[in-house]
Amino acid sequence: MQDSNSDLKTLKKITILQDLQDAELAEVLAASVPRVFPTGSVILTEGDPGEQMYILLAGEVEVTKRLLLPIDQTAVLERIMNRLKSGDGVTLGEMALIENDVRSANVTASTDCRMLELSKEKAFLLFNQNPAMGVKILFRLSQLLSKRLRKSDEDIVKLTTALVVALER
Amino acid sequence: MQDSNSDLKTLKKITILQDLQDAELAEVLAASVPRVFPTGSVILTEGDPGEQMYILLAGEVEVTKRLLLPIDQTAVLERIMNRLKSGDGVTLGEMALIENDVRSANVTASTDCRMLELSKEKAFLLFNQNPAMGVKILFRLSQLLSKRLRKSDEDIVKLTTALVVALER
């Protein structure tokens, strides 16, 4: 069991919580539930519903996405998108806070992982009770999504170009 | 010149402003500058810096993105991504509010367009003065970005699959 002071220090480094004061981080900590995921366990499954976000306090995870090839429907490839570790300021499933949609990727624990689970309901209570904190978190969340969107759109341009070249061979 | 009552009605339909009360919409209106873009004029240029968001009050725009083919560097294709019209709740360049990055696409007026221009600076003043309104706007902005990200990631899966098929021919 880690003490909550050390968790507060880790929370300061989480990307979407970086602008929060200590008292606000303590509010997030109080609204969250500690969770442990042993090596190899599945944290999020692509396509599953989910209303919780996870804050990675310790450990490493792997993010993958299914690729279903139409030439052979049984051949399901997994595209490894990212390996993330605590210290990178990682949250997982944070899109669940703002959307009623399914998980967009698979996340598996590559090592034993210690997390905080924050439900959508609790997050909204926090935003209502302290809108100034809400603005800080939602601003950084928007920034995170915006950066990911730019990266994905660059990938689309590259893939489209590669496809045009491949079809012209 | 439109009266501001009719502009308030239009603002209610803007996706990222949909949760705002009339008094809050009036704050946004007061913080914005009216702009007119005649048919054919360029509103945003991909790669340019920019610190303003545009709210489409009347008219239609076309969103395109450059595709540079490596086989012939002079052949620049424009990928038409979207045609958007007032009534769709459109904002343009809203990523400028949260990021210090260049415009991610070109936007051209397909008809005469009437817009409101809101600077990043003015938006942050609004968020500071009224954080509850900030939460409402940033929540919907996050949702918008999240939906776009899901769409882009689906396109990546489709393009990757098509590329694998093309290379295996």
Which ipTM value was assigned to this complex?
0.90
> For residue A64, what are the β-bridge partners?
A80, A106
pLDDT at residue B1, as a whole number = 47
Mutate to test the interface with B, among A24, A156, A158, A169 (most CBs of B within 10 A): A156
Judge residue A56's burial from the number of C-beta atoms within 10 Å of its C-beta, 0-12 exposed, 13-18 middle, 19 or more buried: buried
More confident residue, A3 or B112: B112
When mean pLDDT is compared across A22-26, A63-67, B40-44, the lowest value belongs to A63-67
pLDDT at residue B3, as a whole number = 61
What count of other Cβ atoms lies within 10 Å of the Cβ of residue B81? 15
pLDDT at residue A120, as a whole number = 95
Tell me the pLDDT of chain A averaged across its residues: 89
A158-164 mean pLDDT: 86
Closest Cβ opposite residue B138 in set A104, A138, A148: A138
Inter-chain Cβ pairs, chain A and chain B, closer than 8 A? 129
pLDDT at residue B2, as a whole number = 54
Mutate to test the interface with B, among A67, A139, A157 (most CBs of B within 10 A): A139
pLDDT beneath 50: ranges in chain B: 1
pLDDT at residue A125, as a whole number = 96
DSSP at B109: E
User: Cβ of A145 and B150 within 8 Å?
Assistant: no
pTM over 0.95: no
Spell out the alpha helix ranges (H) of chain A.
4-12, 22-31, 120-129, 131-168
> For residue A153, what are the β-bridge partners?
none
The yes-or-no verdict on residue A111 having pLDDT over 70 is yes
User: Cβ of A95 and B156 within 8 Å?
Assistant: no
Quickly list DSSP for A66-77: EEE-TT-TT-EE
When mean pLDDT is compared across A126-135, A154-163, B104-113, the lowest value belongs to A154-163
The yes-or-no verdict on residue A163 having pLDDT over 50 is yes
Give the position of tokens 């343009």: B92
The yes-or-no verdict on residue A158 having pLDDT over 60 is yes
Answer for the pair B87, B9: CB distance below 8 angstroms, yes or no: no
Helix H, strand E, coil C: the string for B51-98 is: CEEEEEEECEEEEEEEEECCCCCCCEEEEEEEEEECCCCCEECHHHHC
A135-148 mean pLDDT: 96
A28-55 mean pLDDT: 95
User: Cβ of A127 and B134 within 8 Å?
Assistant: no
Residue of B nearest to A102 (CA): B150
Gap between the Cα atoms of B81 and B66, Å rounded? 10
